[in-house]
Amino acid sequence: MFQMARPMTRLHWLLGMGVFFVLVFSHLIWGEVDISLFAPLEAVHREILLHVRVPRVLAAVAGGAGLSLCGLVLQTWFGNPLAGPSVLGVSSGAGLGVALLVLLGLTTSWWATAAAAMAGSVLVLILVLFVAHRFRTATALLIFGLMLNYVVGAMITVLQAEAQQDALQQFVFWGMGTFGHGSMATSLGLCAAVVFAGLALSVMHRNLDTWTLGPLTAQSMGVNNSVLRWRIVVLAGLLTGGITAACGPVAFLGLATPHVVRLLTIERSHRVLIPLTALTGAILALAADWGVKGFWGMEQGWPLNAVLSLIGGPMVIWVLVSKTHRLHD
């Protein structure tokens, strides 16, 4: 009775991995040219795989898993099902970092842009985490995040008005959001960052569970709350910043995935939630990317953020309608 093994979870894992690999292979073999799995690989197909499809799949997997982990850990920290990197302004912070470098024409180095995006994310997270205790309801925090988004958005608009034509074009292109811009190197870097963050969060799973019992209780049980908070700031900030630099601002994925996971499983311990959220986030990103690439003879696909907002927007509304009544303690 006190064993922690759950056959349902194992089934979820098998199904999830199955869907995941089907999606990965479908992205690798289908596209503007179809690549056969069975015929020997032609040179041009090799090039397409190495320079287009594999980086794109890796970026989608890392972006989906990473943003979803950020959403999970922010929802846990705030005890708020509406938290997520895009709604709290963390993605906007990253955007501001990118805007400063790209629009002012300071550098075109990808790694400098990523560093600026990470700095922007971390700064916004510090702001949010250190004022959040003043908000008594879940929706107040959400409104604070939306206002941050407006302010940062306005700053970016001012920068755009002042920018050179080609820098502006580059920035607008980035701002539409896609998994398809990265090179093999950036995609692999992103994957490494997400694997590192996932492992770091897994090490913290007991502390995250304990945190759900309340700050005082967690502290009395040996959790160092300020260390936990700083780890969350750094991990969520670096993940959101890196992913946003590589893929553009990606809406709703971080917020929506943990809810999908909670619908799929009755497990709530972070030992299970962390890997399941990463897998589900990767699956959702790969699935959304089919909408972006277009399928079944569509002329062209839809922008990534349009696809994600079509899923994520209704998800927020559903959470607002069904869950927030529990937060008014």
Q: Binding of other proteins at residue 216 (CB under 8 A)?
A: yes
Residue closer to other proteins (CB basis): 222 or 297 = 222
Q: Binding of other proteins at residue 217 (CB under 8 A)?
A: yes
Least distance CB 267 / other proteins (angstroms): 9
Q: Binding of other proteins at residue 326 (CB under 8 A)?
A: yes
Using CB under 8 A, which residues numbered 218 to 247 contact other proteins? 219-224
Q: In the chain, which ranges are continuous DSSP H helix?
A: 7-29, 43-48, 54-78, 90-103, 110-131, 138-162, 165-175, 184-203, 205-211, 215-220, 225-247, 253-264, 270-293, 304-323
Residue from 131, 143, 146, 213 binding other proteins (CB under 8 A): 213
Region near other proteins per CB under 8 A, out of 49-57, 125-133, 158-166, 202-210:
202-210
Region near other proteins per CB under 8 A, out of 13-21, 155-163, 193-201, 215-223:
215-223
* CA–CA separation, 174 and 117 (whole Å): 13
* CA–CA separation, 37 and 26 (whole Å): 11
Contact 299, 315 (CB under 8 A): no
> What six digits make up the tokens of 143?
């409104």
Q: Binding of other proteins at residue 137 (CB under 8 A)?
A: no
Using CB under 8 A, which residues numbered 51 to 90 contact other proteins? 79
Residue closer to other proteins (CB basis): 81 or 182 = 81
Taking CA atoms, 78 is separated from 25, 122, 142, 312, in Å, by 37, 16, 11, 19
Least distance CB 325 / other proteins (angstroms): 12
Q: Binding of other proteins at residue 214 (CB under 8 A)?
A: yes
Q: Which of 241, 158, 236, 251 is nearest to 201 (CA)?
A: 236
Q: Which of 329, 16, 307, 64 is nearest to 191 (CA)?
A: 64
Q: Binding of other proteins at residue 153 (CB under 8 A)?
A: no
Least distance CB 292 / other proteins (angstroms): 34
Q: Which of 326, 282, 320, 297 is nearest to 20 (CA)?
A: 282
Can you give the binding site for other proteins, defined by CB under 8 A? 1-2, 4, 79, 206, 209-210, 212-214, 216-217, 219-224, 268-269, 326-327, 329
